[in-house]
Structure 1
Amino acid sequence: MVSLAAALASLAVGKASAEDWAGADAETGQIADIAGLVRLAARFPDSGSVALRLLNAQLAAGEMTAALQKIVVLYSRGYRLSAASEERLLDMADADQAAWLGSLFGRERQSIEASTVFATIPANALLVESLAQDPQSGALYATSVVSHDLFVSVGGGEWRALGLRDAAALTGIVRDPRNGMIWVSSGDPGLGSEPLPGFRGLIGYNPAKGAIVRRIAAPEGSNPSDLAIAPDGTLYVSDGLAGVIYRAAPGAESLEVAVPVGTFRSPQGLAVVRGGKRLYVCDYRYGLAWVDVPSGKVNRLSGPGLQYLDGIDGLWLHGDALIAVQNGNRPMRIVRLVLSSDGKSIESARVLEQANPAWTEPLGGTLVGDQLLYIGNGQWNRFGEGGAPDPDNPPGPTQIRALPLGK
């Protein structure tokens, strides 16, 4: 049995070469054989989700040596299994393997607490998902999935619901800096067995008029979610259930497909470069990609191999870096991913915050200068069928936290 130090030293960590995005869909998630998962891991080398699937397959097949090597890779890239999983692995291992694993599992699980509470949204807002701020008025907007409404607080004052007519579940939100319009996505995230009533698409709210002034319809059956806006006002919206990315050019009355089904399994957060020629996309299961907007070609955003790049929910461009809320990682964290000069790969990664004891699940937010305002205690676990609050675990106030981003 090699030593832990030797196993760690044998891991080659270097910048991965850029390549085409391999594509993923529901069938990709059904791959369960070891050979198929090895090929899938080669296609998506920065996916911790795929690495875990391969580990479980190796353990089920009794391939303990290969499984141990995979565990070392997981831990070297900042992933941590649950305490229950670690105990199960120790029980499965022989004496030498258990001693070896024990030295790996015994490492301290580091918590990085770098944010502070910025504001608190009252419990009657229910399931708050994301934020946007108007820098001119200081108004802060928050979308609610269950209330089907948009909430606003001006200058730190009381929160009030705006009463958006015919809205469904509101998730994504973005402000158009050209005219101050607040755009929110209205859809059905599948909280209930029955289709959710209400408008499907994007709703444009004009703060100056205090009214809805635009609606952009989504295709039937779609679920618009995370939003991003290009400098010319083009809107991009992800559908994490269908695996589609839509767009709407300025003045459009309906969404059109920008990236079709079969490219991403579960696209979440989006970020557009300043010139509008490149769109960054996080696939929750498989990692980060960038879309060449003029051609529509999708490429994998390769990283240095130091951290996994899947499990990302929120994504923002800040200077020469991407800021990512990685709530699908264990431990959950917020990271700064510094881009190469051409923006086609990641040069380095730094954890800004990790496993904050005040978190339940960090969710969406917005950049305000050199800080990220984000939802710190997501409450998806407090709602059941059809969005009904759990009587044994009722929703509470929602914390907005402020995280300095540095340079």
Structure 2
Amino acid sequence: MSRILVAIWSPIWAVLRAIGHLARAVALFVARLTWPILRPIGHATAAPFVAGWQKWLVVGAKDPIPWRYALRRTYHGFLRHRTVDAGAALAFFSTLAIFPGALSVVSAVALGQSDGDAVDDILNIARLGIGQSAADALRPPLISLLSLSVPGVSLGVGLFLTLWSLSGYASAFGRALNMIYGVQEGRRFAKFRLEMLLLSAVMMVLFAAIAAILLITPSIAEAIGAQFRFGGLLVLLWNYLKWPVLVGIVVLTIALLYYFSPNVKHPRVRWVSYGALFAIGGWALATVGFAIYVTTFSNYDRVYGFLGGAVVVLVYAFISNFVLVLGGELDSQIIRVRYLQSGVEAEGLIPLPLRDSKRNLALARHQSLDLVDGRTMRLKAVRLYGEPTLDEHGQPHIRPRFQTMSGSARPGLSDEDDRAGQ
């Protein structure tokens, strides 16, 4: 029971701490603005006020983050670590999880509602993120999914396929963060896949909670309110309170991805980090901007025809994953800054311990064997044909297979023997 309470309280406490840091930063900004106003009043009058501000600001505060350096390193990491490519790869894996995820949601909703109501509820939620046209394009495949005769079986199949697809997504996300931290994946395939399956199972539970909050809880709130005769008030309160709950679930999901997917061991789970806040804020702005663009300026349906909805979903998945990877890049640079402020050498690699290195040792042995075989092949060619020569473009001359330095067709035969053999 205590572990459950700790798991529930930790994200809440992290959010409260983040709010406290934000309030402290705002207070420092206000103090800097008010000091020129208070200075003419007199030092004796203004000193207690300023001392009180400084005492409250200093309590519990760490060394300030040099944001200029952190943001510059984030930009340079964005250029070096192929963040765009990582976002595209993650968009592919997340797109693979859309169909089984939709199958699971539709089957679960269809167990308690009629087909038409289930499709309408899902499309109403989809319109909030991807716009009217893209959501309408999803209606035919959703209706096709609902045509399955046994929704219970389709729910089980959808959950299994969703779990496997999400594990592939988590693995790709871990590889992207490994590139950011400058490490190789050291966990064996079985161990790594098992960890990603467990992480995907937790993510599925969180996504199911989001779907339940958006699809089911309004009806539950109305039913409870009607039973106790305060339905309107309860529904109104829930319509406002559900959004902080949804934000908390999203923060928890991102924190789990940032902590468990890479092959680096953080000192603790950072429930609310600057990278996670940047990812959530950037994702929200990108969602609003992309929805406005799709509904106002774009012509995806005219250009791509019946594939317009799929293209919209793919582009939206790329934008979302790009922001997530960029948030991980920002987190890594803030960790680097904290090490540097502590006097630890972190200008190059971030000195975080690895979760596992067994796979790295096996890969190192394979690479050493490949190098030895390649060196043996090269030295054998040098003994037979001599040192290679370069042409005018700096490229080595590629000799025929049996051509020697003397011009004979086969090693060990003279030119006359070679002509006689011909």
Q: TM-score, normalised by structure 2?
A: 0.28
Q: TM-score, normalised by structure 1?
A: 0.28
1 or 2, which has the higher helix percentage?
A: 2
1 or 2, which has the higher strand percentage?
A: 1
- Which structure has more relative contact order (CA 8 Å, sep 6+)? It is 2
